[in-house]
Amino acid sequence: MPRSLAVEGLSVRDFRNLESVEVDFGPRFNVVSGDNGQGKTNLLEAVYVLATSRSFRTSKLGELIAIGRTTASVRGRIREDHEEREQSVGLRRGLRAVRIDGKRPATLAAYAVRTPTAVFHPGALGLTNGAGSERRRLLDRVGLYLSAASLGDADTYAKAIRARQRVLEARGEAATDLDGWEELIVRHGLALSAARTAAAASLIPAAKRAFGRIGPAGTKLGLHYERSAPLTGDAFRAELRKNRIRDRARGSPGVGPHRDELALDLDSRPVRSMASQGQHRAVVLALKLAEIEVVAEACGVRPILLLDEVSSELDRARTAALFAALRDEPSQVLLTTTRPGLIDTGTLSGMDERRDFHVEDGRISRS
């Protein structure tokens, strides 16, 4: 049985519009309500930053610091079964300082996997109808929990791709330092492809099972990891070397994990171009439930679930399916809504503790 996991006390300083916020979340179901633009998503984002040191809506850490301030911080007491720890993330310009019980972890990746967190936010529909990058990110999130080193591979790979492009543009395809950048691309690209292969192997069967539970009866979800990197280092190296001129014009290599795809189909028809709205939503929800299941299994803890305005994203049937899944999986849930009356937790047996919070102009109170 996976261990329980919950963020309990949370303090936030100068994080977006949350100037000074203290919240005591309950171990199970927390409903955060408020009008538009008051700070609901900011609060979930603060929890996500506390758990992972990253945001789910921007890669620019500077955006998270309140306008007019130079630093922001999020601290929280995390309970894992019967043990408590204190985590904190401090932000200053583009930099972050993370601590667990006052100590600096060996790497950011080691920090990011301690408190598994899954988020469902309005951008999540991009998983099925948007660019391949959303689906690659899903594989990488799962891959991180299977092997924390993959985060470093993804970062170094992306850096090497950009550096190779800059060299090609500045000094052409005969520049001698291209070999070094291409070596990094090959090494970290193959490692990243291996991590995605492993992530897909866990995620795909879980997503099929989840879709079987929540999707329309008789419809089958198909998923295929389409790896773009050549299988061997030699073949990858040769491909990069041969295509320098073409790649310079394209702006990036024609092969490699940045071009991977997780192809989705319903009864053999591609989801992206042919699925209905309701089908899209069912597939997104199946992918999320699969992510949660795989991460829980890999880490031995139940991820904290951050659900941002899900009922406006999902239709009634899918919301009911989500709540049914929440009933079976007793994770801590932090849910935002503009309409708390529509969140019917009465049907959730075992949801003995529901706490309601209200957000107004960056201030949070129990309601």
Ligand X SMILES: Nc1ncnc2c1ncn2[C@@H]1O[C@H](COP(=O)(O)OP(=O)(O)OP(=O)(O)O)[C@@H](O)[C@H]1O
Rule CB under 6 A: is residue 73 a binding residue for ligand X?
A: no
Q: Which residue among 2, 39, 116, 256 contacts ligand X (CB under 6 A)?
A: 39
| Distance in angstroms (rounded) separating the CA atoms of residues 23 and 54 | 20
Number of residues that bind ligand X (CB under 6 A): 15
Kindly state the smallest distance separating residue 214's Cβ from ligand X, in Å: 25
- Measured at the alpha carbon of residue 208, what is the angle toward residues 205 and 214, in degrees to the nearest 5? 145
**CB contact set of 150 (below 8 Å; sequence gap of 6+):** 140, 143, 144, 191, 192, 195
* Residue 7 and residue 304 in contact, taking contact as beta carbons nearer than 8 Å: yes
Which lies closer to ligand X via its Cβ, residue 35 or residue 169?
Answer: 35
Nearest CA-CA partner of 335 in 14, 25, 3, 18: 25
Q: Which residue among 28, 40, 244, 258 contacts ligand X (CB under 6 A)?
A: 40
Q: What is the number of the residue whose Cβ is closest to Mg ion? A: 41
Which lies closer to ligand X via its Cβ, residue 65 or residue 283?
Answer: 65
Query: What residues pair up with 358 in beta bridges, in sequence order?
Result: 33, 365
Choices 4-12, 65-73, 82-90, 253-261 (CB under 6 A): range interacting with ligand X: 65-73
**345 is in the binding site of which of Mg ion, ligand X, none (Cβ under 5 to 8 A by kind)?**
none
Which lies closer to ligand X via its Cβ, residue 43 or residue 203?
Answer: 43
* Side chain identity at residue 96, one-letter code: R
- Please state whether 202 falls in left (phi above 0), alpha (psi between -120 and 50) or beta: alpha
Which lies closer to ligand X via its Cβ, residue 17 or residue 88?
Answer: 17
E strands, 110-218, are 117-120
**163 is in the binding site of which of ligand X, Mg ion, none (Cβ under 5 to 8 A by kind)?**
none
Rule CB under 6 A: is residue 17 a binding residue for ligand X?
A: yes
Kindly state the smallest distance separating residue 353's Cβ from ligand X, in Å: 24
* Residue 158 and residue 252 in contact, taking contact as beta carbons nearer than 8 Å: no
| Residues binding Mg ion (CB under 5 A) | 40-41
Kindly state the smallest distance separating residue 14's Cβ from ligand X, in Å: 8
Rule CB under 6 A: is residue 42 a binding residue for ligand X?
A: yes
Rule CB under 6 A: is residue 16 a binding residue for ligand X?
A: yes
**219 is in the binding site of which of ligand X, Mg ion, none (Cβ under 5 to 8 A by kind)?**
none
Tokens standing for 150? 């993959």
Which lies closer to Mg ion via its Cβ, residue 35 or residue 84?
Answer: 35
* Residue 335 and residue 41 in contact, taking contact as beta carbons nearer than 8 Å: no
**226 is in the binding site of which of ligand X, Mg ion, none (Cβ under 5 to 8 A by kind)?**
none
* Residue 327 and residue 349 in contact, taking contact as beta carbons nearer than 8 Å: yes
**42 is in the binding site of which of Mg ion, ligand X, none (Cβ under 5 to 8 A by kind)?**
ligand X
Choices 64-72, 286-294, 295-303, 317-325 (CB under 6 A): range interacting with ligand X: 64-72
Query: Per-residue DSSP letters for 106-133?
Result: S-HHHHHTTS-EEEE-GGGGHHHHS-HH
Using CA atoms of 48, 119, 150, 114 in order, give the dihedral in degrees to the nearest 10.
50
Choices 60-68, 113-121, 183-191, 296-304 (CB under 6 A): range interacting with ligand X: 60-68
Site string for ligand X, 278-297 (x = CB under 6 A): --------------------
Rule CB under 6 A: is residue 41 a binding residue for ligand X?
A: yes
Considering only the C-alpha atoms of the chain, give the largest distance between any 2 of them, rounded to a whole number of Å: 68
Instruction: Encode burial over 146-165: b for 16+ CB neighbours within 10 A, e otherwise.
Output: bbbebbebbebbeebbebbb
Taking each helix axis from N to C end, the angle separating 132-146 and 277-299, rounded to the nearest 10 degrees, works out to 20
Which lies closer to ligand X via its Cβ, residue 16 or residue 288?
Answer: 16
CA 77 and chain centroid, separation? 21
Kindly state the smallest distance separating residue 48's Cβ from ligand X, in Å: 12
Query: What residues pair up with 96 in beta bridges, in sequence order?
Result: 91
**66 is in the binding site of which of Mg ion, ligand X, none (Cβ under 5 to 8 A by kind)?**
ligand X
Q: Which residues bind ligand X (CB under 6 A)?
A: 16-17, 34, 36-42, 63, 65-67, 338
